[in-house]
Structure 1
Amino acid sequence: MENVKNSLKLFVEYLQIEKNYSQYTIVNYVSDIEDFFVFMQEQSLTDLRLITYSDTRLYLTQLHQKNFARKTISRKISSLRSFYRFLNREKLTDENPFSSVSLPKKEHRLPQYLFEEELQLLFEHSDLSAPAGQRNQALLEMLYGTGIRVSELCMIKLSDLDLHIGTVLVNGKGGKQRYVPFGSFAQDAVELYISSGRKTLMEKRKQSENHELLFVNQRGGPLTATGVRHILNELIHKTSLTMKITPHMFRHTFATHLLNQGADMRSVQELLGHAHLSSTQVYTHVSKDHLRKIYMNHHPRA
């Protein structure tokens, strides 16, 4: 399997240098491809050039038997298709056995979002007298105030912020950058955190961990996506809310609330950093539900 591993190494270099993909995206590609390598070992397949369409169908069947979500299966097959496309380009294989594999239809789920009353409960439970509480409040306000992804939040540097006009430079997927504005609530929370809480937390860092990232953990090191999820879970436990919460729910909430208040879809698309308008259109279903409730409650002949 040595040649197999070398092929993956070359693919990773291609994703880093030519495609300029984020480390988070590359980790997902590697995970998907290494899962297939495990399957190859189980089937005594040692050469990527010998994989046939029948092998890919068997692998797809196994993924279904393991009860992976359709979205996850689609991502794994798509990763392998891209991997083989690269191998074809480099003349390391002759065929792409995944080119004819049909992806499972996507599940059409409406995005989960928070109501304003639920948000208010979360905003009221950060201890603003403590450094961690100031950080948590700034984190909440930035997630809701900008609609950025958790990976984008964790990459924000102090130099990316313009507190005079209330904007942040966001480093999005595929190395794309965009400026996103934020309001007075987020600005006040971030200014308090930078001037007080962050300084205190940074005093605990190791000398080798000097960095300019905005959000830091309890030891002054970079805050990770896992750390953000842990903070949100801790905050939920302090409230009367019984729901599960994720960083992405704030992104859904940001988009839904903007559309409900009359924002145009193109503007919301630009703020979210969506490459395609279809990615933004999913939020119109939520907005339609909102409009229907208004109609049913207020129209004389509803």
Structure 2
Amino acid sequence: MAVYKRGNVWWYKFVWNGEPIRASTKHTNKRVAEQIEAARKTQLAKGEFGIEEKKPVPTLEAFAPRFLAQIRTDCATKPATVSFYERKLQALLQYGAFAKSRLDRIDEEMIDVFKQTRARTTSRRKRPLSVASINRELATLRRLLRLAQKWKIISAPTVKMLDGETEREFVLNHSLEMAYLDVAPPDLHDAAIVMLDTGLRVKECLTLEWPDVHPEPVGDATFGYLTVRSRSSKNSKPRNVPLSDRVMEVFERRRNGHAAGLVFHREDGRPLYQTWLNQQHVEVRKALGLPEELVPHSFRHTFGTRLGESGADAYTIMKLMGHSSLKISQKYVHPSPEHVERAFQRMRRMNATGRRAVGT
């Protein structure tokens, strides 16, 4: 061992691949100094043979700010998505076994214990947490661990979602729709009509501004339209949606000479918030004895279902509803036997015309 003393501190000195290596061990104990020298040689050997040193593994609590910083970068145009991950991450951090654990110690067993714990947890309304709520937390954990794996900090464990998640896919028939609109307060009545006939999300509806409403058709179009701007859209992409007659009536009644500002607002001009809409909706739903599955989002889902039933293809549904992929839109497409028959007949006619054109 090539250690030597300078003053009270031991140093090491040796040659590696023709290069002199010298440094202070910062220790006064010779045996410790020799161990430090040996560790330095091991480190150099690993580098020479392409063996990477493992990065120090942080706890989930320590890694959380780095995760959120990346989310804010990846989702810079989607503030609602950023807010979602911020909320769900806080729920994960409140679970001490996760917060204080190194990321490489979070394994499938610990994740299963987390599921069991959350399944026994009650919400602020003293109800058990829903499967959907727990799965959103698990999805956040999965994204966090995959980011750590991408950065070569850990090898991420498998995060499996809980079974039994029920989707709120309540569809209003026309008689229920009429009953709902008959008892809904004016603002809720008008917002429901807009969502039922345009497929707008609740946020898109409540942030709609008058400059985005275009009553007159453009070019060869038959209908006026409204524009959902990218800042309001969930997928950050603008889209135009045609206006039905009764949506036009709603806008004409509410415009009252306004050329700017929000379409839906309080008497003093302040915005109508989603919490207000939800409260109004719950009162109407209970008055009619309708199930909890009927939520304001059901108006949008009803629009998509009616589009599919009318024969619209998945691509058209995606464009009108602002879906991020065709996969989401396809759930609304359920071709009837008659629709399949008509499509086959059209194909037969097209093939026959093409064959006649080439003389076969």
TM-score using structure 1 length? 0.72
**How many residue pairs are counted as aligned between the two chains?**
264
**Structure 2 counterpart SS, 1:121:** helix
1:115 is matched with which residue: 157, 173, 184? Answer: 173
Say whether 1:82 aligns with 2:143.
yes
Tell me: CA distance 1:217–1:48, structure 2 relative to 1, closer, same or farther (3 Å): farther
How far residue 193 of structure 1 moved from its aligned partner, in angstroms, is: 0.9
Tell me: CA distance 1:44–1:20, structure 2 relative to 1, closer, same or farther (3 Å): closer
Aligned positions of 1:1-302 closer than 5 A: 7-39=63-95, 41=96, 43=97, 46=100, 48-49=102-103, 51-53=105-107, 54-66=109-121, 68-87=129-148, 94-95=153-154, 97=156, 99-105=157-163, 107=165, 111-125=169-183, 133=186, 135-165=187-217, 166-170=224-228, 171-195=232-256, 212-217=261-266, 219-236=268-285, 240=288, 242-244=290-292, 245-284=294-333
**Structure 1 counterpart SS, 2:269:** coil
Residue deviations 1:75-105 (CA, integer Å, cap 9, x gap)? 211112222334455x5x81154x4122234
Structure (1/2) with the larger helix percentage: 1
Amino acid at match of 2:100: T
TM-score using structure 2 length? 0.62
Amino acid at match of 2:237: K
Q: Distance in 2 between matches of 1:161 and 1:10?
A: 41
Structure (1/2) with the larger strand percentage: 2
Contact 1:32 1:76 in 2 (8 A): yes
Residue deviations 1:222-277 (CA, integer Å, cap 9, x gap)? 22221221232344466x55444311110121112222223233212221222233
Contact 2:312 2:333 in 1 (8 A): no
Contact 1:15 1:21 in 2 (8 A): no
**Structure with the greater alpha carbon radius of gyration:** 2
Structure 1: give runs of 5+ residues left out of the alignment: 128-132, 200-210, 292-302
**Structure 1 counterpart SS, 2:111:** helix
How far residue 10 of structure 1 moved from its aligned partner, in angstroms, is: 4.2
Tell me: CA distance 1:44–1:272, structure 2 relative to 1, closer, same or farther (3 Å): closer
Contact 1:33 1:76 in 2 (8 A): yes
Q: Distance in 1 between matches of 2:206 and 2:326?
A: 25
- Aligned residues: CA RMSD: 3.4
Contact 2:254 2:263 in 1 (8 A): no
Q: Distance in 2 between matches of 1:234 and 1:223?
A: 17
Tell me: CA distance 1:5–1:224, structure 2 relative to 1, closer, same or farther (3 Å): farther
How far residue 59 of structure 1 moved from its aligned partner, in angstroms, is: 1.5
Q: Distance in 2 between matches of 1:96 and 1:270?
A: 39
Tell me: CA distance 1:83–1:21, structure 2 relative to 1, closer, same or farther (3 Å): farther
Residue deviations 1:57-82 (CA, integer Å, cap 9, x gap)? 32233233445433333321111222
Residue deviations 1:193-242 (CA, integer Å, cap 9, x gap)? 1217x89xxxxxxxxxxx9333223553222221221232344466x554
**Identity across aligned pairs (percent)?**
19
Contact 2:190 2:250 in 1 (8 A): yes
How far residue 144 of structure 1 moved from its aligned partner, in angstroms, is: 0.6
Q: Distance in 2 between matches of 1:163 and 1:138?
A: 17
Tell me: CA distance 1:182–1:231, structure 2 relative to 1, closer, same or farther (3 Å): farther
Amino acid at match of 1:52: I
Tell me: CA distance 1:94–1:37, structure 2 relative to 1, closer, same or farther (3 Å): same
Q: Distance in 2 between matches of 1:157 and 1:215?
A: 8
How far residue 124 of structure 1 moved from its aligned partner, in angstroms, is: 3.1
Contact 1:217 1:227 in 2 (8 A): no
- By relative contact order (CA 8 Å, sep 6+), the higher-ranking structure is 1
